[in-house]
Amino acid sequence: MRKAIGVDLGGTHVTAAVVGDDGKILSSHEQDLDDHGVEVVLTAMEAVIGAALDDVKEDGVPIGIGSAGNIDLHSGTILYSPNFQWDNVPLAARLGEKFKQPIFIGNDARCATLGEYTYGTGRGTKDFALLTIGTGIGGGIVSDGTLVLGNAAGAGEIGHHQIRPSDGFVCNCGKIGCFEAQASGTGLIRHAFAVKPSFPRSVLLERKPEKLGSKAIRKAAQAGDRHALAAWQNFAADLAIGVANIIAFVNPEVIALGGGVSSAGEFMLDAISGRVDQLTTMVPKGTTRIAIATLGNDAGPIGAAVMALRGGLKSGAAA
C-alpha cells in the first residue's frame, strides 16, 4: 500500500495523518496553535509531521499540506493567508530544510474537496461541489472529474461571492454581504445579534463569549427557542441563496455540506432544501442533490494526502 502524510493547517491546530492509498487514516497527530507567528507554526508543523513520519518508517513518503489562503502551487509559497496574516511565506522551502521528502501545498478547502470527492460523498460522481461551513465558508468544485483550480489556483472561493451586497454583514475580506459573512457559523451568531431587539426578554446571548457559538444557537433553535429560530431561519435563507447560486454556476450532481455547522444534519437540510428548490430557476429542478459530507474533519488531511500521492494539484488533472 502506498502512503502519504496529509497535513491540515487550521487556525487553531495543525493535524498530520498517515493516509493509505485507500483513503484510510492509519495514524494521526495534532497540536494546538496559540500563536500564528511563522516560526511558532513551523515548529508545530515539524513536530506533527515528524511524528507521522516516525509511524511510517519508510523513505520517500510524500507530504501534502492544506493551508488556508492563496497558494503558489509551483513553489509552495503562501502568497496570502487571512487566517494567519501571512504574506509570501515560503512554507514548502522552509519545511524542506528539515524534511527531504517531496512536499506539496494546496489550499485547504480544495484539499478537503479532493478528499470528499475521492473517498466521501462525491465518490462516483463527475460534477461535485463541497461547502465547508465553519467559522467561514470554504469549498471547491469538481467539473467533469477535474478539480477546478482556475488561472492562479484561486477558483473555488465560494464563500466570497456576495449574496447581500447592500444590506449584509461586513466580511473579513472587506466586502459587504459575502456568502461567508451571512451563512457561516459566524454568520449565524451575527443573525442572532441582528434579531435580538425583537426578543427583549431572550437570554440566548447572555452567556460568556467563549460559550457563545453557532452550535449553541442551533441547539436552541432545535429546542424551539423563538430567538434562536428567528436567527436560524435568516441564516438558512442566506445559505439557500448561496447553494442555489452554486447550482446555477456549475449544476453539480451533488453539493456536500461539510464543516462544523453541517453537524446540524437533517435539521439543516430540511431548512434549506425547499428554499433552494424555489430559487433554482434556469437549471432543471432536482438535478443537484444536497447532502451532508461524510468525511467530516478528516476530509482535509485525506485530501492533502491524495494531493501528495498524485504529485500536487495540477490544472486539468483528474480529481
Kindly report the CATH number assigned to the domain that includes residue 61: 3.30.420.40
Q: How many residues comprise the chain?
A: 319
Contact 87, 79 (CB under 8 A): yes
247/142 same-domain check: yes
Q: Is 210 helix (H, G, I), strand (E, B) or coil?
A: helix
Is residue 208 located within the same domain as residue 263?
yes
* 253 and 266 part of one domain: yes
Whether 19 and 66 share a structural domain: yes
Q: Report yes or no on 315 lying in a domain.
A: no
The verdict on 254 and 150 lying in the same domain is yes
State the DSSP string of 235-271: HHHHHHHHHHHHHHHH--SEEEEESGGGGGTHHHHHH
Q: How far is CA 235 from CA 12, 66, 200, 248, in A?
A: 25, 28, 20, 20
pLDDT of residue 208: 72
Is the per-residue pLDDT at 152 higher than 80?
A: yes
- Three cell numbers, residue 101: 521528502
Q: What is the reported pLDDT for 210? A: 65
When divided into structural domains, the chain yields a total of 2
Q: Which three cell numbers stand for residue 11?
A: 487556525
Both 50 and 150 in a single domain? no
Rounded Cα distance, 196 and 231, in Å: 9
Same domain, 169 and 278: yes
Q: State whether 271 and 303 are in the same domain.
A: no
Give the pLDDT of residue 207.
76
- pLDDT interval class at 122 (50, 70, 90): very high
Q: Which domain holds residue 236?
A: 121-294
